[in-house]
Chain A
Amino acid sequence: MLDHILSILVFFPALAALLGFVVHKDSMRSYGVAVAAIEFALALWLWFAFDNNVSGMQFMETIALIPTFGINYIVGVDGISLFIIILASFFTMIGIASLTDTKDVKNMIITLLFLQMTMVGVFVALDAMVFYVFWELSLVPMLYIIGAWGGPLRIYASVKFFLYTFAGSLVMLVGMLFMAYFYYQATGQWSFAILDWYRLILPESFQLWLFVAFFIGFAIKVPMFPFHTWLPYAHGQAPTIGSVILAAILLKMGTYAFIRFSLPLFPDASVFFMFPIAILAIIMIIYTAMVAYAQKDIKQVVAYSSVSHMGVIIIGTFALNVEGISGSIFLMIAHGVVSGALFLLVGVIYDRRHTKLMSEFGGLASVMPRFATIFGIMMMASVGMPLTINFVGEFLSLLGFYQQSHILTLLAGIAIIVGAIYMLAAYKKMFFGEVTKEENKNLPDVNKRELIALVPLVIITIWLGIYPKPVLGPINTSVEAVVQLMHEKAITEEAKSRIPSLDIIINKASAKEVQ
């Protein structure tokens, strides 16, 4: 049974979506929640059956697809992808559960279920072409969600989102084809299997070019400065559910792909580009924080803050050591939970007032105390307060990068603290002070359905903030293997010294101080 759990996880939502065409539209929401709950249960079962002590791939499946050209359906899961899969199924579930009065709810839920297939598919794929298939396919449901249910500029936003990402991934496709060709030259056989590619040691010059090709695809998805311009439009126009899924899961595809592809395939190039990328990431953190401060629309604030935190994930990833990478993966989960929750919260207030302008609110804390509390907790988590989920990830990411550069880490750290200003300012504008607008005086507090979605997120935020080990353990085991692989594959001296070998990791840290 568990031999095929990953395929079931991928294709069960798709099958459910196909059958969903038959379901009557009044019963559609219940159907969607039921399907998503089953999927979430399956994902939890996967976690339960997952062996924490194994660093490699588990539950692998291989089906020949186009063996002549080395394309096979290969899926597997390790500590890096496990929790993102659980996160994806979790957010689909609460997303559908919290779906408020939407027109064409049936189309929406079918689309969401297809989207879930592509999301899970991306994170379990171990063949580059299968990965690419799901990666591209995920654009289509999102295009439809933004374009059909979005705000006034929805068509512009959705097409921009689609074309931007599509163009980036086509460059990545060329890079993948090159990788497969190099593998063919080295072994005489075509292969797109990622685990096969891991064994390939490329000369540094090739690594640099291929790194850039992959980087363009991933960086647009993350989105990294200066490729981020599609995101504010997408978030600004998307319906709540679209923003939630986009921020919580879809953006993680980019950062996940960095760890799955860029780092182990091109260790020397990763070291070569470490500082430029770190500088880009710091610009991203500071710049988007400043932009967020200038926003009038609460959703844009959350959107820009989400971009800002993606910068920390990138910094952690390119620390190229166990602390940094584990921290960045943990922060991916944390960011998913927190920014997903914040978008849900914005959705709650939007449903009541049909405006997202902060100037329209004020003093909400007295009208909607429960809402203000949950929003407050999530906002604190977002700015990285200790004992919340974000803190663990941010701390580890920065700790990792501290070993590579003290100055840059300091800059990033300050930027995060300064970044807290806009969040607190936004919170103040919305929740404190007198209730100035007449319409706000009788706003109902969060109702039961919204609580069902929000309370678990609050619990996760605090639970994993206090005790992150259940999640961090498996991540750590797999990341250690990745870092060790990178160290062994690295060609240049620079890379060998930057990427620690695990058996000398303690000496390494002290050796750096001496330099």
Chain B
Amino acid sequence: MLSPVNVSIESLNLMTLVPMLIPIVGALLILVVDMFKSEQDKSMYVMLSLLVLSIDFAFLLESAGIFEQNGTVMGVFDVMLIDGLAILSQFIIVGASILFIPLALTKKRFHEFAYPEFFALFLFMIAGFQFMVATDNLILIFVGLETASLALYTLIAMHNRNKSFEAAVKYFTMGALAAGFYSFGSMVFYALTGSVEINQIASVLAANNYADIGFVLIAVVFMLASFGFKLSMVPFHTWTPDVYEGSSAALAGYMSIVPKIAAFVVAMRLFEFLIHSGVVWLEVILYIGVVVTMTMANIWALVQNDVKRMLAYSSISHAGFVMAAILIGTTQSNSALFLYWILFSFTNLGSFSMLWISRQKNLPKGQSSDHSYDKFAGLVKTSPIAASIMALFMLSLAGIPPFALFWGKMYMISSAVTGGYTVLALIMALNSAVAGYYYLKLIVYMFMKEPVVGLAGDVSAVNATLSLKTIIGIATIGTIFAFLALNQLLEFVTVFVYNSGY
């Protein structure tokens, strides 16, 4: 006869679940509203999602306060792990989502936003990402990852164009492959150590001194491949440009930020201890991966004819740049990762939003794609403010000081210098120079060329509404005045990363 299981409800620490439950409840609420009275205007759903996310953000602030006082909190049978990384990345996830969701309020009617399911799925996805970063249990990571990814595939497909279906199916297939790799890798780790918790795995492996290094390497290979897909590292990047092209510009901008930070956090938890325990092979592979991802993506970006595809390759390159932080593995580099990604969120979301407000409903004759360079030719003549803002985002992405991303780049390169990776620091610096070319290309089109005859004329704001302009305004202010907030941001991030033991 088994003795009755006795678990006190306090020891479960259910409060750790609250930030994830809020978006889930919000999503269910949206579905319930739809059940009672369907055919509501999208603005209602947008504001509802915004409110839910704001409450979520408030609770995150609270757990940040708790973390500052008591340190890391575990909960729900020690499955949940609320440490500094979890809190920081949730801030980015929820913050970027708050900036993203008003982009649904476009002037032109786009089919996907008419469905309440879009917003429900969106909130489910956020909960999935939050679960993913707030645990070190490989199974829960998997659950979070799949919840989020499945929702995301659907969001892409809802854009309802042939290219969108293609993108969604492509993303789905690749994602399924990545999921397979992931579960296989976890299985090997479980077989080796009898645990699915990363810190358990680390201590068991350390205890027997990495006796089964062969199996560890197999597991690492599968994990690397799986995260390679999620982070779009070369050579697992092939889906990225097509998926970005197929999805709406707003969603593409979102995809370049939020899913990646979630994957970065998991990669940090998993690979950091392996690198620090001297798995040299992993270090070499990561080094090559980082350099190749940065460089190749930059070179491919040079030859794109569509701004959105260019930005897709640029975001691959940025991901490779940031991946260097995991390779370097110091507190400074991990703080740099978060700092970089916070600044990147503003700039990148801003530049994708600029594409989004210029999005025509249907592709006009003579224009090769939705956001071809030609469309932006001579923009300074017709709409100087739009051109200046777009140029600002491009300069920031290129790393021209004092705009936001420069500081992230500078801190990241500095962490490579202090970490002893001098050559890597130089490669990172020179890659920024290569990247400068394709960002300049857009500036050249906007400022130095004449408008292309035969196109529809000024379309820089055909899709703009007040709420879209507000988001762009926030992104612009964040990009220009980042240096004023940088000191607090840096201190905050460093404390959180340091106190989590990374």
A residues neighboring B (CB under 8 Å): 64-69, 107, 129, 132-133, 136-137, 139-140, 143-144, 147-148, 154-155, 158-159, 162-163, 166-167, 170-171, 173-174, 177-178, 180-181, 184
B473 at the interface (CB under 8 A from A): no
Chain B interface residue count, Cβ-Cβ cutoff 8 angstroms: 36
Interface string of B436-479 (1 = CB under 8 A from A): 11001001100111000000000000000000000000000000
Assembled-state Cα–Cα distance A140/B447 (Å): 12
Q: A103 → chain B, closest Cβ, in Å? A: 11
CB closest residue in chain B, given A148: B448
Quick check: A174 and B444 within 8 Å, CB to CB?
no
Given contacts A68-B494, A69-B411, A147-B444, contact A174 B417 (CB under 8 A): yes
Given contacts A66-B483, A136-B400, A137-B401, contact A170 B440 (CB under 8 A): no
Quick check: A163 and B444 within 8 Å, CB to CB?
no
B401 / chain A contacts, CB cutoff of 8 Å: 129, 132-133, 136-137
Assembled-state Cα–Cα distance A158/B444 (Å): 9
* Given A170-B432, A174-B413, 6 further pairs, Cβ under 8 A: A65-B486, A65-B487, A107-B380, A137-B401, A137-B402, A170-B429
B148 at the interface (CB under 8 A from A): no
Quick check: B487 and A166 within 8 Å, CB to CB?
no
Given contacts A132-B401, A155-B444, A163-B437, contact A173 B426 (CB under 8 A): no
B61 at the interface (CB under 8 A from A): no
B414 at the interface (CB under 8 A from A): yes
CB-defined A-B contacts under 8 Å, sample of 7: A148-B447, A154-B448, A155-B444, A158-B444, A159-B437, A166-B436, A171-B426
Q: B380 → chain A, closest Cβ, in Å? A: 8
B294 / chain A contacts, CB cutoff of 8 Å: none
B418 at the interface (CB under 8 A from A): yes
B486 / chain A contacts, CB cutoff of 8 Å: 65-66
Assembled-state Cα–Cα distance A65/B483 (Å): 7
A133 / chain B contacts, CB cutoff of 8 Å: 401-402, 406
Quick check: A68 and B417 within 8 Å, CB to CB?
no
Quick check: A68 and B491 within 8 Å, CB to CB?
yes
Assembled-state Cα–Cα distance A67/B491 (Å): 10
Q: A250 → chain B, closest Cβ, in Å? A: 16
B425 at the interface (CB under 8 A from A): yes
B395 at the interface (CB under 8 A from A): yes
Query: Sorted from nearest, which 4 A-B pairs have the closest CB atoms?
Result: A167-B433, A170-B429, A133-B401, A147-B448
Quick check: A178 and B426 within 8 Å, CB to CB?
no
CB closest residue in chain A, given B441: A159
Quick check: A159 and B444 within 8 Å, CB to CB?
yes
Assembled-state Cα–Cα distance A159/B443 (Å): 10
A136 / chain B contacts, CB cutoff of 8 Å: 400-401, 406
CB closest residue in chain B, given A213: B426
Assembled-state Cα–Cα distance A68/B335 (Å): 13
Assembled-state Cα–Cα distance A171/B444 (Å): 25
B417 / chain A contacts, CB cutoff of 8 Å: 174, 177-178, 181
Quick check: A69 and B448 within 8 Å, CB to CB?
no
Q: B317 → chain A, closest Cβ, in Å? A: 15
Q: Quick one: which of B400, B410, B440 contacts A163, CB cutoff 8 A? A: B440
Assembled-state Cα–Cα distance A107/B447 (Å): 11
Q: Quick one: which of B410, B436, B447 contacts A147, CB cutoff 8 A? A: B447
B422 / chain A contacts, CB cutoff of 8 Å: 174, 178
Q: B425 → chain A, closest Cβ, in Å? A: 5
A143 / chain B contacts, CB cutoff of 8 Å: 440, 443
Quick check: B487 and A155 within 8 Å, CB to CB?
no
Quick check: A177 and B410 within 8 Å, CB to CB?
yes
Quick check: A174 and B400 within 8 Å, CB to CB?
no
Given contacts A173-B413, A174-B426, contact A181 B418 (CB under 8 A): yes
Assembled-state Cα–Cα distance A166/B425 (Å): 16
Q: A75 → chain B, closest Cβ, in Å? A: 15
Assembled-state Cα–Cα distance A64/B413 (Å): 22
Q: A114 → chain B, closest Cβ, in Å? A: 12
B386 at the interface (CB under 8 A from A): no
Quick check: A158 and B448 within 8 Å, CB to CB?
yes
Quick check: A67 and B430 within 8 Å, CB to CB?
no
Assembled-state Cα–Cα distance A129/B444 (Å): 27
Q: Quick one: which of B402, B430, B444, B487 contacts A68, CB cutoff 8 A? A: B487
Quick check: B487 and A177 within 8 Å, CB to CB?
no
CB closest residue in chain B, given A159: B440
Assembled-state Cα–Cα distance A173/B380 (Å): 32
Given contacts A65-B487, A66-B486, A178-B417, contact A170 B447 (CB under 8 A): no
Q: With a 10 A CB-CB cut-off, give which of B402, B426, B432, B486 has the most chain A CB atoms.
A: B402
CB closest residue in chain B, given A144: B447
B414 / chain A contacts, CB cutoff of 8 Å: 69, 177, 180-181
Assembled-state Cα–Cα distance A132/B449 (Å): 30
Q: B476 → chain A, closest Cβ, in Å? A: 14
CB closest residue in chain A, given B402: A133
Q: Quick one: which of B413, B426, B490 contacts A69, CB cutoff 8 A? A: B490
Given contacts A147-B447, A174-B413, A174-B425, contact A67 B400 (CB under 8 A): no
A177 / chain B contacts, CB cutoff of 8 Å: 410, 413-414, 417, 425
Given contacts A132-B401, A159-B437, contact A174 B483 (CB under 8 A): no
A155 / chain B contacts, CB cutoff of 8 Å: 444, 448-449
A167 / chain B contacts, CB cutoff of 8 Å: 430, 433, 436
Assembled-state Cα–Cα distance A366/B412 (Å): 63
Assembled-state Cα–Cα distance A455/B433 (Å): 42
B413 / chain A contacts, CB cutoff of 8 Å: 173-174, 177
